[in-house]
Amino acid sequence: MENTTPENEQAPKQRWSDRFDRFALYITRVTGSSTAFILAMGIVLVWAATGPIFHYSETWQLVINTGTTIITFLMVFVIQKAQNKESLAVQLKLNELISATKGASNRLVSVENLSEQELQVLCEHYSAMAELTKQASDLLKSHSVEEAIRDTEEKLSDQTARDSRGLVRSAEDISH
């Protein structure tokens, strides 16, 4: 008797999802290339050049219209899938930067899940903060190299401390 747990049912769905992810990434890379553009332009030029041969018939027009409509329809889904994955990856990277940056507001982690109204409130907050900063400082003045080095050293020191605390906890977990 075959085991039909939800986990076993999820495996085929996950494989199809993974395959479609790879397919969408491949197609967006290929279709976004110079070669793809040149090929598409070539097809349009060949189609246009054959107009007189086919006396600019409705069938001749239907060929390009149908082809471009089908390709556009399918590409919308492929591009959206690739865009969703890329957007999620960027959001995760930004969340990591926020969570790892001393002094950054953790309220902004997963901010993409807020409603439009909540985002507008945050936008107004940061706009007001930017205006106060503009009034209080010279916009042409940048951080010094020394400040950047000091900040980097602090971050590295903090990271080393976190890593060593994690190793101690891991060793304690293993010993128990």
pLDDT mean across residues, the chain: 83
Provide the residue ranges of all domains of the chain, joining segments of one domain with +: 1-108, 110-140, 142-176
More confident residue, 155 or 125: 125
**Residue pLDDT, tens place only, 45-82:** 999 999 999 999 999 999 999 999 999 999 999 999 99
pTM for this one?
0.57
For residue 85, count CB atoms less than 10 angstroms from its CB and return exposed for 0-12, middle for 13-18, buried for 19 or more. Answer: middle
pLDDT of res. 153: 78
Tell me which of 69 and 21 has the higher pLDDT.
69
Integer CA distances (angstroms), 127 to 52, 60, 107, 118, 122, in order: 60, 55, 16, 14, 8
Contact in structure between 78 and 24 (CB atoms under 8 Å): yes
The band of 131, judged by pLDDT with boundaries at 50, 70 and 90, is: confident
